[in-house]
Structure 1
């Protein structure tokens, strides 16, 4: 997952080298999100039939191909191709890897496994910009070395995954796989809408930090240090991981609406940073908003994983991440479109207001639905 956010601190360098607008940055970023969505929609539940391990190996292969595309430095087309392949890899990993970790967990360790899966997801996404920011600022070849390091990490991951046991009984050969949209069994449908709303709102904030925050730092705050940019993006994903740690005490049902409330606080801090052009509220927005996103995500994953039958768990989780990645792509493109007439700061303020309204509506819906106070004792 680190590879999917690896280019975040490097977008400014690509803009200087290739020459494209801020709107194109958001489009390049959205290409990744649409790659994720496409894979989740077409083969989101294929691991339920062919097994978890083959799907993860295919995801690693796509990630390696993405790194090679970035290493080629062939201009905007290869940049988009690299992001698309990165989206394919993330789409293959999100639901499948989460289901795999849950199934590999020993009896009685399901709650810790849910945290391990979501923390690995968010932790990897956070470590990507931190790694590339440090290498771009303090090491030679800033557009080459991060992706070379990523290839080494992928090789190690491939070797480990190759020897993992399969958890799907009666898994069929990969060549027999047929595209199928993620399906929602009846047991999941009652919890999917509130879980999906929370995931959409939370991922939209992460999308802003991983796509347009480097430009805001450079243009409005005069921060050109790539390591600082990577650290701020990392802080958002660190907040997500910390928020997930709170879920066992709250229970998954309570964690989702409370996560929406914390997310609104993070959006308010983001609005303050954009309005006043100051750095401290931006750092706090990353930490607080990330915490709200993490609470909502772990709550959503726990609720859906607990409700879904084993044979449909991968598909149900993939469907959740389809909604989440729409949250990353659509609002980010909206900011890119508004940045030209309004400026980046004002476009970000419009985004913060819209997402705060959505998060508030989600929280109220969750609190009013029957059984909203249940689930206080479990983490899914």
Structure 2
């Protein structure tokens, strides 16, 4: 590891201290890895929660609650802490977010009941929300000057790739390792501890400025010039994040209850296929016009949702895999088309409020859809809830096609 000496940017005159810092290239690699690790940890509970359900004997709706509260906690953190690093610097917030993620991993590791798992998910949601904007900004700023596009590509691909890798990682351990849940969280405890330690040695890329307390007041705004376009993207954003809720929170329950698939690796693979497809589509469609991306994405999610409903009704497991591929590709295309279409149309100082508005819609759709679905599981059963969720998702995605086409 190459190490250089750097003066702390906030050292007082006459008391300047020299502190070891890794090079910017090393910092870029390490912070990129930390960003992926945060999302890997977010995807890890998908195959593990059904194992906890079997061992502890709690109601299935608590699984979707554990997923839903994570999304809502993440949303609150993004809205409140999202721009704090612009005022206090990237490194302090990165250290704090990764340290809080470490706390969440420890709570998971020693959880004795579903109540503690839900607490861990709330802490994890806050940590992920705090880390997302800060790590993304640091990755872009630390990227080598000749490879700035690589930084932007990392921030675009890491969320979907990390969620898929996390589900697959936990699913593989659940399949082949005795006491898999403990092993998963133990590995992630070590990873987060190393990540927290590493960020203490990364170069600071943002100067401090006043207004830290004022920045904690959520600012959600849609600039006038993109309001009509923003409204037309809402069905696509809602259906994209409902697709994420479906394959992260509901499909593992459906596989166990409807298809009698008890192997946690199957649910993990379904999530991995979904987010893998989304990652690939996001990476290879840079030259596609945002409008076309939104139409294709919403269309793919519509077909995927219909296939999922058909799989539940007919008991046809292969249709779940087809739904995962189309749904994942659709969510990747739709959300990429949304951000690529909106962001260039606003001024730099308007982007924070715009992203807050996008994520407000996105994570409310993800969290509330999972919680509502869970509440109905005990009333009408898993099969009916799964079919109803798929129908609502298909309607939302189809509305995305219509709204985007009419906008054009």
Q: TM-score, normalised by structure 1?
A: 0.88
Maintained 8 Å contact 2:51/2:264: no
2:306 alignment counterpart: 268
2:282 alignment counterpart: 244
Maintained 8 Å contact 2:86/2:208: no
2:218 alignment counterpart: 181
In 2, the alpha carbon distance for the partners of 1:147 and 1:197 equals 36
2:174 alignment counterpart: 136
In 1, the alpha carbon distance for the partners of 2:102 and 2:311 equals 37
1:19 alignment counterpart: 57
User: How far did 1:193 drift?
Assistant: 3.1
- 2:219 partner SS: coil
In 2, the alpha carbon distance for the partners of 1:128 and 1:101 equals 20
User: How far did 1:85 drift?
Assistant: 0.7
2:4 alignment counterpart: none
When residues 107 and 268 of structure 1 are mapped into structure 2, their CA distance, relative to the original with a 3 A threshold, is farther
1:205 aligns with 2:243: yes
Kindly provide the CA deviation profile for residues 81-102 of structure 1, in whole angstroms up to 9, marking residues without a partner as x. Answer: 1000111122113334344444
Q: Pick one of 363, 381, 386 that aligns with 1:343.
A: 381
In 2, the alpha carbon distance for the partners of 1:272 and 1:171 equals 55
**Alpha-carbon RMSD:** 2.5
- 1:91-240 → structure 2 map (5 Å cutoff): 91-105=129-143, 113-171=151-209, 178-184=215-221, 186=223, 189=227, 191-240=229-278
Maintained 8 Å contact 1:98/1:117: yes
1:376 alignment counterpart: none
In 1, the alpha carbon distance for the partners of 2:292 and 2:145 equals 24
User: How far did 1:111 drift?
Assistant: 5.6
In 2, the alpha carbon distance for the partners of 1:252 and 1:157 equals 35
Maintained 8 Å contact 2:61/2:377: yes
Maintained 8 Å contact 2:240/2:301: yes
In 2, the alpha carbon distance for the partners of 1:119 and 1:55 equals 22
User: How far did 1:122 drift?
Assistant: 0.7
In 2, the alpha carbon distance for the partners of 1:117 and 1:267 equals 27
Structure 2: 5+ residue runs without aligned partners?
A: 1-38
1:287 alignment counterpart: 325
User: Which shifted more, 154-163 or 348-357?
Assistant: 154-163
1:46 aligns with 2:71: no
Kindly provide the CA deviation profile for residues 188-230 of structure 1, in whole angstroms up to 9, marking residues without a partner as x. Answer: 5454334443222111011111112112112221212222221
User: Which shifted more, 237-246 or 64-73?
Assistant: 237-246
Larger Rg: 2
In 1, the alpha carbon distance for the partners of 2:238 and 2:60 equals 23
Q: TM-score, normalised by structure 2?
A: 0.82
In 2, the alpha carbon distance for the partners of 1:52 and 1:323 equals 26
1:29 aligns with 2:56: no
Structure 1: 5+ residue runs without aligned partners?
A: 373-380
In 1, the alpha carbon distance for the partners of 2:308 and 2:178 equals 33
In 2, the alpha carbon distance for the partners of 1:160 and 1:301 equals 31
In 1, the alpha carbon distance for the partners of 2:341 and 2:82 equals 19
